[in-house]
Amino acid sequence: MIAMVRLDERLIHGQVAIKWSRHLNVDRIVVVSDEAAANPVVQKSLMMAAPATAKTTIKSLEKAVKLLQDPKAADHKILIIVSSPEDLLKIVTQVQGIPVINVGNYGRVAAKHGTEVRKTYGSNLYAYDDEAEVLKKVIDTGIKCIYQTTPDDTPEELAKVLG
């Protein structure tokens, strides 16, 4: 079963490896990123950051959807991590059984739109208008959407954060 889907442009790092994986008590982490899946160096660094307590896999969006749609996935407690609002929308519209979407860190290091500046929505959430619109489409799926950097932080409804 899926425990949570998290938007975090850094994918696996301390907050995910230590705090979220333990808080959710997951036994699997699925990193969904076409970029990471195609880059062996990125894969190695993500695997080094991954917790020993959860088997971690890095998949392209297409392969991740197939993996998560497999009935065998229900036998595991899975944290899905995506690095962009667009990938988040694709996952939540193609994969069933997602109980909650967590937006944690986005917009500091993501690809830029020229010299345009992202709006600040939270201490760790920055988005261009088009990215905020994609996040609103995610909210429109009806799945519970929260903004929360770490499990220790108080979760906020993403709709309220985006205004």
Question: At residue 118, what is the residue type?
Answer: R
Q: How far apart are CA 56 and CA 17, in angstroms?
A: 10
Strand partners for 144: 100
pLDDT tens for 117-136 read 999 999 999 999 999 999 99
pLDDT, tens only, 133-156:
999 999 999 999 999 999 999 999
Length of the chain: 163
111: exposed, middle or buried (Cβ count in 10 Å: 0-12, 13-18, 19+): exposed
Q: Which residues are catalytic?
A: 13
Task: Read off the pLDDT of residues 45-89 as tens digits, 9 standing for 90 and up.
Answer: 999 999 999 999 999 999 999 999 999 999 999 999 999 999 999
pLDDT higher than threshold 80 for residue 15: no
Note whether 138 and 100 are within 8 A (CB).
no
Please, how many CA atoms are within 13 Å of residue 36, restricted to the half-sphere of its CB? 27
